Amino acid sequence: MRVKSVLNASAPLLAAGGAYAIHRYWPDKIPLSASQTFPGLLGAVALVWLAYLAASWWSARLRQRAGEVAPLWAAALAGISLWQVVTGKMGLLPMPFFPGPDRVFSVFGVSSEVSMLAIGTLHSLRLLATGFICGSGAGFLLGVWIGWSKRANFWGMPVLKFFGPVPATAWIPLALVLFPTTFGASAFIIGLASLFPMIVLTSSGIAGVRHSHLEVARTLGADQWQLIRHVAIPSALPSIFVGLFMALSASFLTLIVAEMIGVKAGLGFYITWAQNFAEYYKVFAALLVMGVFFSGLMSALFAVRSRVLRWQQGVIKW
């Protein structure tokens, strides 16, 4: 039992060592990048893991957590190593479309590239935030209205049914005419992409509020606005969060499309730009950054949901 857990805890170290050995000693088919970023990264991962283990000496919670994530860390390192074997070491994939990790990570060792990626990320974030917040905010308000008022539902639903399925990107030509800047047009498209899932899920959540909860609230003295604010919206929150998740994924997609075809900044733009120079290792580097960026935003939304919907845990498992 002990031996097994020690082995488990040291697996990431073994994997990092193995990956380094492969990088260093396996003969290359395709010349290795001169950059030392990749081996440096392997070393950094090993050090971080050692620090993690050291910290878990004092904390039982960290120790348990370390035991849980150790196989994942090891597998990730093994996967990266396999990627290097398939590309640089064995030359199984055509160049320059499939560079190895040594080449891709070399991007993160060049300060001009790092600052371009960082600025690109900030541009993407600004555009995404503008579009997503406006779109899902408007979707929330319209959704509450359509979900609450029979009349708004009567007139709004057909419009929603008709325009809802049209992909937001189909509005690009119109958006370019309507807005003086590509930023405005792109934010509008991203907003549209978040608008519809938000309206649909908010309104169905609001319409699904238990009638008996509304009656209880009325007998306790709630007026119309208080019913909406203190009963309908809280009870619709689970559905509203599903809408937010759908809106966020839709806005990621739309963001990258917008940046690849019109906006002259951002991660999507960086990718097309690198592609034009056939610098595919930069494309992959940008994809990695995008992965971190998007999954970070998703995780943040998950964290908010777990906090806000704490009352729901144990009622519905998710």
Q: Which residues bind other proteins (CB under 8 A)?
A: 210, 212-213, 215-223, 226, 230-231, 234-235, 237, 311-312, 314-315
Query: Minimum Å distance from CB 238 to other proteins?
Result: 10
Q: Which is nearer to other proteins, 235 or 272 (CB)?
A: 235
Alpha-carbon distance of 17 to 32, in angstroms, equals 18
Q: Which is nearer to other proteins, 65 or 210 (CB)?
A: 210
Q: Which is nearer to other proteins, 68 or 215 (CB)?
A: 215
Q: Which is nearer to other proteins, 149 or 226 (CB)?
A: 226
Which tokens go with 10?
A: 């040291």
Q: Which is nearer to other proteins, 177 or 315 (CB)?
A: 315
Q: Which is nearer to other proteins, 230 or 264 (CB)?
A: 230
Q: Which is nearer to other proteins, 97 or 311 (CB)?
A: 311
Q: How many residues does the chain have?
A: 318
From the number of C-beta atoms within 10 Å of its C-beta (0-12, 13-18, 19+), residue 109 rates as: middle
Contact indicator for 214, 147 with CB cutoff of 8 Å: no
Contact indicator for 102, 23 with CB cutoff of 8 Å: yes
Query: Minimum Å distance from CB 306 to other proteins?
Result: 14
Query: Minimum Å distance from CB 198 to other proteins?
Result: 20
* Nearest in space to 193 (alpha carbons), one of 141, 148, 130: 130
H or E element at residue 291: helix 280-308
Task: Please count the helices (runs of H) and the strands (runs of E) in the chain.
Answer: 13, 0
Query: Minimum Å distance from CB 55 to other proteins?
Result: 33
Query: Minimum Å distance from CB 311 to other proteins?
Result: 4
Query: Helices 111-148 and 280-308 meet at what angle, rounded to 10?
Result: 40
For residue 115, give Cα distances in angstroms to 95, 99, 112, 293.
26, 22, 5, 15
Query: Minimum Å distance from CB 61 to other proteins?
Result: 24
Backbone phi and psi for residue 266, each to the nearest 5 degrees, phi listed first: 100, 170
For residue 159, give Cα distances in angstroms to 88, 143, 154, 162, 165.
54, 13, 10, 5, 11
Upstream peptide bond of 96 is cis (omega within 30 degrees of 0): yes
Query: Minimum Å distance from CB 230 to other proteins?
Result: 7
